[in-house]
Amino acid sequence: MAQNRKIRKVFKSRPTLEGAGVHLRRVFGNAEVPLFDPFLLLDDFRNTDPYQYIKGFPWHPHRGIETITYVLKGDVEHGDSMGNKGVISSGDTQWMTAGNGIIHQEMPQGDDNGVMEGFQLWANLPKSHKMMDPRYRDIKSSQVPELVTKNGARIKVICGTVEGKQGPVRDVIIDPEYLDITLPALSEFVHATRRGHTVFAYVIGGKGVFCNEKNPFAYDATGENYFDMERDSFIHNGTAVLFDDGDQVTVAAQGEPVRFLLISGKPINEPVAWYGPIVMNTEEELQTAFDEYRNGTFIKHQKP
């Protein structure tokens, strides 16, 4: 019999300032290592005020990780040291493997109404792949399969496979799954998960019940203010759920729809040495990376 995953911990996103002055909400980050292994960070940069995001993320280096940017609304202009440049628009995904080193910039522009909605996820690379050549995948919304289950769940498959529909992002080292799921009111969703993989959900609209749990905030909740957190059975917009191990995840929508990202990956189980935009296995490797950045030898992969 399939074992349902249970809630391990609940995280409420918290305000953070990043880049050149971008106001966003951090769901998890450095302080949560290694809970989300192989994932390192999730930022929610939804905003309706251009002055709070327009300064963006000017040129900066990455090494040892992958950055995954998923845009719901608005545009993000980007460029990198491999010569890639363009615009990520509504429904698009950028899956960038920094590998042995890349320098890039991301500049949110919003839409015609000034609305900018998106998320950036950082995934770690194992020691065996940290110094691989960088690679870049620009996934247009039209490339992302969308399906509706018999229970009415609408699923966008960015990475992974659901009911025979495989997402466009493939051959990723950590064997990830990245789904954007909307459940209509009064519906339930059950999704099979791989044993041993880290699985979490982040609610981006409405509210839902996860794992049939009536008191989810009893699970060592982390957030802005513990005493202000909702004390009902719902997980609300802007809140993440990290699951224990098991064979499947169960989510239910009651009086209103719920939309959430469901993300999973194979843990790496290696030491993490992390400072700023670079993540390695040892402090010595970190120091080498920053020394190389200062002396101009950081980029190993030349433009084609």
Dig out the tokens for 182 from the structure: 């909307």
CA distances to 11, 22, 50, 192, 205 from 65, in Å: 23, 21, 29, 27, 28
pLDDT tens, position by position, 185-232: 999 999 999 999 999 999 999 999 999 987 776 665 665 455 554 456
**Cα(254)–Cα(188) distance, rounded to whole angstroms?**
9
CA 100 to chain centre: 21
**Cα(252)–Cα(254) distance, rounded to whole angstroms?**
6
Which residues, other chains included, contact 196 with Cβ-Cβ below 8 Å and sequence gap of 6+?
A: 245, 266, 267
Q: Which fold has domain 7-295?
A: Jelly Rolls (2.60.120)
Structural domain boundaries in the chain: 7-295
Give the per-residue pLDDT at 227.
Answer: 52
- Are 262 and 182 contacting, i.e. CB atoms less than 8 angstroms apart? no
Q: How far apart are the first and last CA of the chain?
A: 52
- Give the mean pLDDT of 148-172: 95
pTM over 0.85: yes
Dig out the tokens for 86 from the structure: 């363009």
pLDDT tens, position by position, 9-43: 999 999 999 999 999 999 999 999 999 999 999 99
